[in-house]
Structure formats: C-alpha cells, structure tokens
C-alpha cells in the first residue's frame, strides 16, 4: 500500500519506519531539508533505540521529502503525525495539524484515507474532515480516521511493532477495513470504534497513567513521614491484578512529550465544557510539586547553594531518550544556578540538547566520576543504567561530602547502608552513614 506520513518526529518517523518494516512503501514529509537529507542517508535525526537500524534496513521502501504535494497526491493512506504542543492556557496547539490538513486538501488527486496519529482533543477529527472536504481541489472522496499512538520514548519501535492494541476510530466501515489491512502484519489486537471514542481512549489512557504516577508519589511522600518504605508498599500493591505493578515507581514526577501535555489538555477541555476533572487536576498539581522534591530535601543539608559544587546525574526526563521536554532538571537547575551553585552535569545522550538552553552556565562531563569529583552534593534526576550500576563507594572516594539526593531510587537501601554516605531518596528512610558539618 502506498502510504504518506506528515512529520518525522517521534510519532511520525517511528510510524513510517515501522510501516515500511511491515512491507508498505512509505514517503515521509518534513519541512527541514537537513533532516530529510539525513534520513535519506539512513540516519535518524532523533535518538531512539533501534530506530536507526530499522530505518537503514528498510531504506528501499522509505522516501523522505519536503515536497508534500508529490507525497500526498497519489497516496492510499496519509498519516498525520505532527506535534500538538501545549499552549499557555494548557490547551493543545493544533496549528500544525490543521496546516497539514490544508496541504492534503490542495494536493490529493485520488480517493484516500487521512489518519490522525497526532494526539488531538476530542472532536478534532470531525473538524479536520470538514476542513479537508471544504478545500478539496480535485473531485475525490476522503475519509478521516483517528489512530492514536501509544508509544513510549525509549521503547517506541517495540511499542509500535508489538503494540498493546491498535485503536482505529472511523465513521465509515469501509475506512476501518482498509486500515485493518494496513496493520494486518502488526502483532497487536485491533479495536475499531467511532472517532471521538478513539480520541478519548488516547487521552483517558495517558491521563490514567499520570494519575497512577502522581498517586504513588503522594503515597511515597507520606511513607517518608510515617516510616513506611514505598518500594515495599508498591511491591505489595503490584500483586493485585486490578492494580498491576507498572507505573508504581516513586520519584520526582513524570515528564516528556505526552503526560504533562495530555493531562493539561484534557483538563482544559473539560473546563471548557464546564466539567472539571478533579482527579486529573490533582495529578497535575502533585506532579508540579514533586519535581521540586529534591530541592526541598537539600535544605536539610544546605541553607543555600551559593558557592557549592553540585553534581547532576541525568538531564533527560527518562532513560533511553535525549528528550528534555518537561524534564525535572529544567525546573531544578535554574533554581540552583540562581542560588549560586557551580554545576557539573552528566548524561549519556542528553547533553547536546541541554547545551541549547544552558551552554556556558554548566560544566558538562563525560563520566560520572568526573561529575562527582569534589562535589558537595549530588542530585540524581534520571535513572540511567550507568547510574544504577555505579559503585557507591566511589561517592565517598571522590566527593567532598558524599550527600546523594536520589530522585529515582536508583540504589537499594541495603547497599546504601554499607557505604560511607548520606543517601536521601523518595519514600524511603534516609541513610546517614557520614558525619558532615552542615552548612
């Protein structure tokens, strides 16, 4: 089947490459000439495990171009996978989606299905169909379908090829049958519903996971007060099949391109219809406060960061990606810098992106050892394997004062108690095996 994909970010590029892997001829459209040249050479412009290898493997079935008219005019199916960033008021910015829809209307020369892969508010598919049909240049039939993605950065290729489900929202049964054929070689059950239900499935799924994360973080905060251990609590909860054990890792909040944006967008949409989602609003509030958890913990040890050497391990919002969107570091590091901290930071893949925002204010290091050397305190913001596998004795050996504030619970307490350190994590007892004169 001849397929076009608008956008080559996480959603668009992963979708296009995975469709090619399953035998389709795919043309991906982007406005950036440099990105297009890279991709046509088999090089992925984004960091995502396994993506570049799959891109190179299927390069004969993939084409990348800036010529949207040529890409769209004879396509059987056109996927829209462009961004829907958050506006100041929390609503979704749909300008990129509508811009592509307008281009499609002006370009298509045959009957086709336009598939909205981007995360859009409920009812957007209806608006897009109306827009396209009102602006068609040629006498063709167009069906618009909702096909939300459920990939996670760091596991996006696997999540697409072996999805938990493929959701297809259509108003015409014939469009649903065609999309079933598109996905017939994918290893996933297919759910067919109407468009608004498909749009809501995406938001409800993401917001529920965000709720789960915020809930366990609130329980973790209470565990610290009453002397319970959040990891034992989560372990015990996880055996209940009604709850499950995923998304029960306490920490300093969720980030990335989906949960923060989608919780705010659904909350905004509900308010727009005079129907506040109190649980979603609570999840948003809890998450914003949780991002500052380590800063608050640090006040037990230092009144100020002024003149302190601060080590930061991990810059991205999660391991397995170079994405910084809504990363806790973007909230915490400005506070430290304003307070006079001298920051050294390490991340295996996120440094170049972080340099775009903080090029000279931070010293970037190539190793964890270099980062923590002579540091007064160490903050762990991302649970990279390199951090989890790091020998705790090195903190004592290399740091000026081995105070470790861990926002991702990278180390078990048994190991921490054997080390000559102060180890303060989330929802667990504080280990203090190091006598230090607090500033």
Catalytic machinery residues: 258
Please give the Cα distance from 188 to 184 (Å, whole number). Answer: 9
| Secondary-structure breakdown of the chain: helix, strand, coil percentages, each rounded to the nearest 5 | 40, 15, 45
Alpha helices in 243-277 (DSSP H): 259-272
Q: What letter would DSSP give residue 60?
A: G
Please report how the helices 124-134 and 95-107 are oriented relative to each other, as an axis angle in degrees rounded to 10. Answer: 30
Please identify which residue in the block is written with the tokens 């390490």.
346
Please identify which residue in the block is written with the tokens 């993506």.
51
Please report how the helices 259-272 and 278-290 are oriented relative to each other, as an axis angle in degrees rounded to 10. Answer: 140
Please give the Cα distance from 391 to 411 (Å, whole number). Answer: 10
Spell out a b/e string for 108-123, using b for 16 or more CB atoms within 10 Å of the CB, else e.
beeebbbbbbbbbbbe
Q: Half-sphere exposure (CA, 13 Å, Cβ side) for 242?
A: 0
């Amino acid at each position: 089947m001849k397929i076009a994909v608008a956008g080559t970010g996480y959603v668009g590029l992963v979708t296009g490459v995975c469709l090619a892997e399953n035998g389709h001829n795919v043309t991906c459209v982007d406005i950036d000439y440099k990105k297009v040249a890279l991709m046509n050479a088999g090089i992925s412009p984004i960091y995502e495990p396994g993506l570049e290898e799959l891109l190179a493997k299927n390069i004969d079935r993939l084409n990348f171009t800036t010529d949207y008219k040529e890409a769209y005019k004879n396509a059987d199916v056109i996927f829209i996978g462009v961004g829907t960033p958050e506006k100041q008021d929390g609503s979704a910015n749909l300008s990129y989606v509508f811009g592509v829809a307008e281009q499609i209307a002006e370009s298509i020369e045959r009957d086709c299905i336009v598939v909205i892969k981007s995360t859009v508010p409920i009812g957007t598919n209806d608006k897009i169909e109306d827009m396209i049909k009102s602006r068609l240049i040629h006498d063709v039939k167009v069906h618009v379908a909702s096909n939300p993605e459920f990939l996670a950065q760091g596991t996006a290729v696997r999540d697409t090829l072996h999805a938990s489900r493929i959701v297809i929202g259509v108003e015409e049964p014939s469009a649903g049958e065609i999309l079933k054929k598109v996905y017939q070689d994918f290893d996933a059950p297919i759910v067919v519903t109407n468009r608004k239900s498909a749009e809501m499935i995406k938001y409800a799924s993401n917001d529920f996971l965000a709720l789960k994360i915020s809930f366990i973080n609130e329980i973790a905060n209470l565990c610290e007060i009453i002397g319970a251990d959040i990891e034992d609590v989560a372990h015990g909860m996880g055996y209940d099949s009604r709850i499950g054990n995923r998304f029960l890792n306490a920490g300093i909040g969720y980030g990335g391109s989906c949960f923060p944006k989608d919780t705010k967008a659904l909350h905004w949409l509900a308010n727009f219809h005079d129907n506040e989602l109190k649980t979603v609003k609570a999840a948003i509030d809890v998450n914003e406060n949780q991002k500052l958890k380590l800063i608050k913990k640090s006040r037990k040890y230092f009144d100020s960061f002024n003149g302190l050497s601060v080590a930061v391990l991990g810059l991205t919002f999660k391991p397995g990606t170079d994405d910084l969107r809504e990363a806790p570091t973007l909230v915490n590091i400005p506070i430290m810098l304003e307070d006079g901290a001298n920051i050294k930071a390490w991340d295996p893949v996120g440094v170049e992106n972080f340099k775009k925002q903080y090029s000279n204010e931070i010293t970037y290091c190539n190793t964890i050892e270099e980062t923590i050397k002579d540091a007064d305190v160490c903050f762990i913001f991302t649970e990279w394997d390199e951090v989890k596998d790091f020998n705790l004795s090195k903190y004592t050996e290399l740091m000026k004062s081995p105070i470790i504030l861990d926002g991702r619970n990278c180390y078990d307490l048994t190991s921490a108690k054997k080390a000559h350190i102060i180890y303060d994590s989330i929802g667990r007892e504080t280990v203090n095996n190091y006598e230090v004169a607090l500033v």
